[in-house]
Amino acid sequence: MSRMEDTSAIGEVDFLNETESTTPDTGAVRVAGGVGVGGNINTGGNVDAEGDIEAVGNMAAANLSGTNTGDEPRWLSDIELEGGGVDHTVNVSASIPDARFAVFQLLDNANDYETMIVTIKRTETTVRILAEGLPAGTYRLIGRG
């Protein structure tokens, strides 16, 4: 089926073609523009992304692997933070080849892995830590990548 105008559907739509996707240009359903989804996305297979992946909210991951996760976590910096609202940037270029593809963790000064809600924004050479209500103290930034 090929259509040249907008198409709308009310209710569920089933696509019965089982062609696997191996690139953005292959598969049972191909979309030339972006895709906006107002609900959950579930996949029974792998997810491959050629660009950056951004997450707003919580993200859980199990069995991280691949070329961008590096070997063992490395100490990057001990950071003295005043607490409260935090906006702190660390240059990690000496330890991480490209911070955009690395995994980072911020540990509290007691190294007891307490839960802290922080946002970590990355560029190629820096890591920016944003947080609200963080207790004052020394924190350790570790990363792999």
Tens digits of residue pLDDT in 31-50: 888 888 888 888 888 777 77
Q: What is the pLDDT of residue 17?
A: 92
Tens digits of residue pLDDT in 14-31: 889 999 888 888 999 888
Whether the CB-CB separation of 90 and 119 falls below 8 Å is answered with no
pTM of the model: 0.44
Phi/psi for 139 (5° steps) reads -125, 155
Two tokens, residue 113: 């892995």
Tens digits of residue pLDDT in 50-90: 776 666 655 555 554 444 444 566 777 788 877 777 888 88
For residue 123, pLDDT beyond 50 = yes
Edge to edge, the sheet with strand 137-144 lists: 74-81, 137-144, 103-107
Whether the CB-CB separation of 102 and 68 falls below 8 Å is answered with yes
